[in-house]
Chain A
Amino acid sequence: MSCWDVVADYGLRSIGIGERLLPRDDFTLCKQVVLIGSGMIWNVYFGILALGAGFFLATALAVGKASKVTALRKLSEWFIFVFRGSPLFIQFFFAYFLFLALKSVSPLFDPFSAAWLGALIVLFFNTAAYSGEIFYGALLSVPKGDIEAAGAYGFSGWPRFRRIVWPTMLRLAWPAYTNEAIFLFHATTLVFFSGFPAWQQRGDALYYASYFADKTFNPFVAYPILAGYFILLTLVVIAVFGAINRHLNRHLPQEHRAGVRYRPNLVR
């Protein structure tokens, strides 16, 4: 069996397409690389959707935390505190428990106890809290002069936020936000590891890596493959976020442009 056959059989195994049974003997390097790579589909899925949705909630949380309305401020502060102050591991446990309980209330909640939705919601809240804190910090550092200048040009309320404050906030927050994105992708490995059950052996990259480590009784092949995939993914994230960063800073004189520095400012 050539390696291409393996790709055809197992390339999409993690979403239930292809061979039904996982490899049971003859664990070649090719099989391990393909199947673990197939699992990466889930890591990318969780990462992209949680980041995309979390971005908007994070903006709302940052504005909420800076708000003068006490109720809004307290709500945002508590949300951020609870999700930043506790391990993701424990958040997954409670979410799964809660979703199971809700299930008995109404069949509407049925999909929530499955990883594709339940874990996504936890990751979404989690990244929103972390990014919200980053955005809040950036919001406070928006130069006073910018806002005064906006006022002089007749901007106020929503247009001022949309056109002046928000872009500046993003520009300031971007390096730290890049790190948050990287760590969110890393955090997706916890989904099947601690929180949610794997159905029909459809799992993420770590699930398959531990499957192979378990079958071959040798952890020194499967986990380094997993590590290799994540280094690649990290490089891609840095490239994409770097491009966005250049876009955000395109109006600044060359020497003032801050590169995306991969620094763990706010990580989990």
Chain B
Amino acid sequence: MCYLTTGKHMAFYGSFGTVLLLLAITAPVALAFGFGGAMAARSRVAPLRWLGKAYIAVVRGVPDIAFFLFFVIALDQLFEWLRHQAKCPDWDAAIRQGNDFVVCPAAKLPLSSSPQIWHEAYGFSLAVLTFAIVFGAFAANVLFGAMKAVPRAQLETAEAYGMSHRQTFWRILVPQMWVYALPGLSNLWMVLIKATPLLFLLGIEDIVYWARELGGSKTPRFTDYPHGDWRVYYFGALLVFYLCFTRVSEIVLGRVMKRLTHGQATMGGEAQRKAA
């Protein structure tokens, strides 16, 4: 047993996994939110269109940190309230009692008798959902722009072939928009990576939480390994981690872009054709 293998350090190493897992789940969920938002924003039903545009404009106009500070509690209360309405119609006590938010025991999320692992999983999914709502608005904006960037002639041709509106959307527009969306989406991915230090606001014990906890100066009374203020070394490790992670992402996304532009009627595709 040495300093670097204490239970606390193990939790620190584990938190890198937590962050990566969260990114892996959040990215597709945020993309789904974005797709929904973009579809709503270009809907022909006016209220749906307003809703989509408002979602994009409001969420993007506000610093993400402001959302993170109250969104998790808000979402948690919303879900418990909904469950309360469904499960306890006979409950007569008020849900808001002064400052307290009290729902019937059957509506608690997760149930207070459930094992700790469910509490953790629930907290984690709330964090994923909050991230997805915030970054979904950015994704919606990128996809909205990408859908507009697909040449009109392509859509007109499809309609000339007798495709319905829905068919044109799914068979022509959606497959073609990705190449226009990818630069924006890869930037969004980078932004998402760099927003993970704010995870501790959402109640996830992430790498920044543990780096702070481990790096703070320790007196011999509370630990076998007393040391001074070592935060700079732990944050240095985080810096290296983030730089490597963004660098690898850049390289991978560059390759994907190359693949996608292949054979496309864009400047990039034309350049590839000439080079070949």
Note whether A and B contact each other (Cβ less than 8 A): yes
Contact: A87 with B194, CB < 8 Å? yes
Contact: B61 with A265, CB < 8 Å? no
Nearest CB of A to B179, in Å: 15
Contact: A85 with B242, CB < 8 Å? yes
Which of B117-125, B137-145, B256-264 forms part of the interface with chain A?
B137-145
Contact: A268 with B70, CB < 8 Å? no
Of B63, B99, B231, chain A has the most CB atoms within 10 Å of the CB of: B63
Which of A19-27, A157-165, A212-220 forms part of the interface with chain B?
A212-220
Contact: A89 with B62, CB < 8 Å? no
Contact: A223 with B184, CB < 8 Å? no
CB-CB contacts of A89-123 with B at 8 A, as 1s and 0s? 11001100100000000000000000000000000
Residue B205 at the A interface, CB < 8 A? no
Contact: A88 with B194, CB < 8 Å? yes
Q: How large is the interface on A (under 10, 10 to 19, 20 to 34, 35 or more residues)?
A: 35 or more
Contact: B99 with A218, CB < 8 Å? yes
How distant is the Cα of A24 from the Cα of B191 in the complex, in angstroms? 38
How distant is the Cα of A144 from the Cα of B17 in the complex, in angstroms? 47
Contact: B66 with A230, CB < 8 Å? yes
Contact: A264 with B187, CB < 8 Å? yes
Among B118-177, those with CB < 8 Å from A are 138, 141-142, 145
CB-CB contacts of B27-60 with A at 8 A, as 1s and 0s? 0000000000000000000000000000001101
Contact: A263 with B145, CB < 8 Å? yes
Contact: A220 with B197, CB < 8 Å? no
Nearest CB of A to B198, in Å: 7
Contact: A85 with B243, CB < 8 Å? yes
Q: Smallest CB-CB separation from B148: which chain A residue?
A: A261
Contact: A82 with B184, CB < 8 Å? no
Residue A7 at the B interface, CB < 8 A? no
Contact: B141 with A230, CB < 8 Å? no
Query: Within 8 Å CB of A266, what residues of B?
Result: 187
Contact: A268 with B145, CB < 8 Å? no
Q: How many interface residues does B have (CB within 8 Å)?
A: 40
Residue A239 at the B interface, CB < 8 A? no
Q: Smallest CB-CB separation from B229: which chain A residue?
A: A97
Query: Within 8 Å CB of B70, what residues of A?
Result: 213, 219-220, 223-224
State whether A231 and B142 are in contact (beta carbons under 8 Å apart), knowing that A89-B208, A266-B187 are contacts in the complex. Answer: no
Query: Within 8 Å CB of B145, what residues of A?
Result: 261, 263
Query: Within 8 Å CB of B62, what residues of A?
Result: 186, 226-227, 230-231
Nearest CB of B to A267, in Å: 5
Residue A127 at the B interface, CB < 8 A? no
Query: Within 8 Å CB of A93, what residues of B?
Result: 231, 235
Q: Smallest CB-CB separation from A223: which chain B residue?
A: B70
How distant is the Cα of A252 from the Cα of B115 in the complex, in angstroms? 66
Nearest CB of B to A217, in Å: 6
Among A42-64, those with CB < 8 Å from B are none
Q: Known pairs A86-B246, A213-B69, A217-B99; list 10 more (Cβ under 8 Å).
A: A81-B243, A89-B197, A186-B63, A186-B64, A189-B65, A190-B65, A227-B61, A262-B60, A265-B183, A267-B187
Residue numbers of A with Cβ under 8 A of B are 81-82, 84-90, 93-94, 97, 182, 186-187, 189-190, 193, 206, 209-210, 213, 217-220, 223-224, 226-227, 230-231, 234-235, 261-268
11 contacts between A and B (CB under 8 A): A81-B247, A87-B194, A182-B60, A186-B62, A193-B65, A219-B73, A226-B62, A227-B58, A230-B61, A263-B184, A265-B184
